Structure 1
Amino acid sequence: MVTWTGLTASAACAAALLSPPPLEWGTAPLTVDALPRITYVAHRGGAREVPENSMAGLAAAYARGTAQVLDVDTRVLRDGLLVVHHDPTLHRTTDHSGEVRTLDARDWRTVRLRPAPSLPGRWRPERPPTVAEVLDRFGGRIVLMLEVKDPRGLGPLAALIRSRGLTRSVLVNTNDPELARRADRLGLLTQLWRSARQLRGDRPERWRSYVDVLDVDHRARDADLRRAVRSGIPRVWAHTVVTPAQRDRVLALGCDGVITDAPGRLARVAQRGARPWRA
């Protein structure tokens, strides 16, 4: 694995482009079917280790190989361009303010991400990527999880995924069961996330015909997590895990994936009784 400390963002991107794909994937195009028994997801690229939703951060997470899925958030600009950004507003992570949806493609090129000073290593400000750029850089090389923050983006996102032949390599994530159903009808792989409060009243078995991954809050009650695991949905992953103890609990309850802001840290700390996994 690559140790990623003290590199600039530009060096991170360069290293990822020069590095071969992580060894566990071999040389074949990667699909969700190739994921290991226990899957690690770099949430927003690993937001406690890299600048969230940045191309440099995703490149670093990819080169490290400590996660098998890269997660990003998607939003829609006023001209329909799909971009990578979590919040509806800009001020928390960029040098701009205001709402993302008020910008167009030309405006987006002027936005710069502001890496948090608490992050390890050295990171330079950079333009946040578009969804097409992320798909072109990483599509087929690693599984991607794209969360639909704006329902208007589902149709354009489906077109981007299909045009690149990535329908088996990209999970489309949402909190809305009806949006997940629509994504399934568009021929996409679907991921449905639910909060601890929602899981108290959920009946996950209702979704098993159109949800490929159920994404559960690690803070949910044991009984609710067990019910999710028994739902018949093929994969159940827990978010957003940051400590080994949290990870060990959800895996012990039957979850088979961990969505984490700290994939490098969790990969360095072994699971209790864990054995080396194979894809």
Structure 2
Amino acid sequence: MVTTSTPALLLAFALAAQGGTLTPLEWGSGPHTVDALRPVVYTAHRGGALEVPENSMSGLVAALERGTAQVLDVDTRILRDGTLVAMHDATLDRTTTSKGRVRDLTAADWRKVRLRPDPELKGSWRPERPPTIAEVLDRFGGRVVLMLEAKDPDSLETLARMLRGRGLVRSVLVNSNRPAVTERAHELGLIAQLWRSAKQMRHDEPKKWRRFVDVLDVDHKARNGDLVRAVRSGIPRIWAHTVNTPRQRDRVLRLGCNGVITNTPGLMWRTPVREPARG
């Protein structure tokens, strides 16, 4: 069960917006793990995709250095030769200067791909090669908690081997929309995260997943009752996605969520939580 009260959550976020208790932990003698996360968490979705180029090394570096999120989210895809790479879509068309299916490429092909930064992003962002997941793990593993969404379920065993080999099992959340994939991640000894859409949540029974779900990632657009049912499911962490405005954040906190996944971590961090007016 989520045991932190809603007033406590609101106070924690209010302090965070003023540079208080949610300042990310400094790198110490050991890796930063999920177990060490604060009771209330900000996750930078794809690195914070309305503030930095999504799933890019430069964007992830900027998100880490800004210190506005305790978790960095990265999407994972698998190439034809088994290489895992950072990419949300199944094709290259939307975010790169290339076209075609990600899965048709080899590692050699991947080195030729260049990201196309959204021109509406603030700042100067140059085209760059999208990273492999090995590069993400080697650059950020243990320095910050990572959330890796396994877009291709058949990549799960490879991802598990990579995490074990680097000693990062407790520092990485492995996310999926499919309960069966999340259960398999749990069986592999990984920290398992399940995300659900507002439509799915209308019929979900989250209590059924308590055995294998460590984080339930719920759609902020879901009905109040569906969100509350998730909060009361017994799953310890209930984080809401994809929250991009302070008003959306304040609502899910009031309903009992203890984390937000956001494309705008900087905006969230700067904006204090508004407690509901007392009648």
TM-score of the aligned structures, taking structure 1 as reference length: 0.89
**3-state SS, counterpart of residue 181 of structure 2:** helix
User: 2:236: which partner in 1?
Assistant: 234
Q: Which of 79, 84, 104 is the equivalent residue of 2:86? A: 84
Aligned residues: 253
User: 1:123: which partner in 2?
Assistant: 125
Alpha-carbon distance, 1:273 to partner: 4.5
> Where do 1:249-264 residues align within 5 Å?
249-264=251-266
User: 1:47: which partner in 2?
Assistant: 49
**3-state SS, counterpart of residue 87 of structure 1:** coil
**3-state SS, counterpart of residue 69 of structure 2:** coil
User: 1:157: which partner in 2?
Assistant: 159
Alpha-carbon distance, 1:23 to partner: 5.6
User: 1:14: which partner in 2?
Assistant: none
Runs (4+) off by over 2 Å = 22-26
Fraction of identical pairs, as percent = 66
Partners of 1:119 and 1:262 in 2: how far apart? 11
Q: Which of 61, 64, 74 is the equivalent residue of 2:63? A: 61
2:25 aligned partner, one-letter code:
E
Kindly provide the CA deviation profile for residues 86-128 of structure 1, in whole angstroms up to 9, marking residues without a partner as x.
0000010001000000000110000000101000100010000
TM-score of the aligned structures, taking structure 2 as reference length: 0.89
Alpha-carbon distance, 1:49 to partner: 0.2
Asked if the contact 2:41–2:260 (Cα under 8 Å) also holds between the matched residues in 1, the reply is yes
Alpha-carbon distance, 1:25 to partner: 3.5
Partners of 2:127 and 2:77 in 1: how far apart? 20
Alpha-carbon distance, 1:83 to partner: 0.4
Partners of 2:112 and 2:77 in 1: how far apart? 17
Partners of 1:43 and 1:176 in 2: how far apart? 19
Alpha-carbon distance, 1:152 to partner: 1.1
2:251 aligned partner, one-letter code:
R
1:89 aligned partner, one-letter code:
T
Name the Cα RMSD after superposition. Answer: 1.1
2:26 aligned partner, one-letter code:
W
Asked if the contact 2:24–2:69 (Cα under 8 Å) also holds between the matched residues in 1, the reply is no
Alpha-carbon distance, 1:26 to partner: 5.2
Residues 96 and 26 (structure 1), Cα distance of their counterparts in 2 relative to 1, 3 Å cut: closer
User: 2:214: which partner in 1?
Assistant: 212
Partners of 1:95 and 1:42 in 2: how far apart? 24
Q: Does 1:33 align with 2:35?
A: yes
User: 1:24: which partner in 2?
Assistant: 25
Partners of 1:224 and 1:23 in 2: how far apart? 31
Unaligned runs of 5+ in 2: 1-22
Partners of 1:273 and 1:26 in 2: how far apart? 33
Kindly provide the CA deviation profile for residues 19-54 of structure 1, in whole angstroms up to 9, marking residues without a partner as x.
xxx763352421001111110000000000000000
Kindly provide the CA deviation profile for residues 34-75 of structure 1, in whole angstroms up to 9, marking residues without a partner as x.
111110000000000000000000000000000000000000
Residues 230 and 23 (structure 1), Cα distance of their counterparts in 2 relative to 1, 3 Å cut: closer
Residues 146 and 180 (structure 1), Cα distance of their counterparts in 2 relative to 1, 3 Å cut: same
1:178 aligned partner, one-letter code:
A
1:74 aligned partner, one-letter code:
T
Unaligned runs of 5+ in 1: 1-21, 275-279
Which fold has the larger relative contact order, with Cα–Cα distance below 8 Å and residues 6 or more apart in sequence? 2
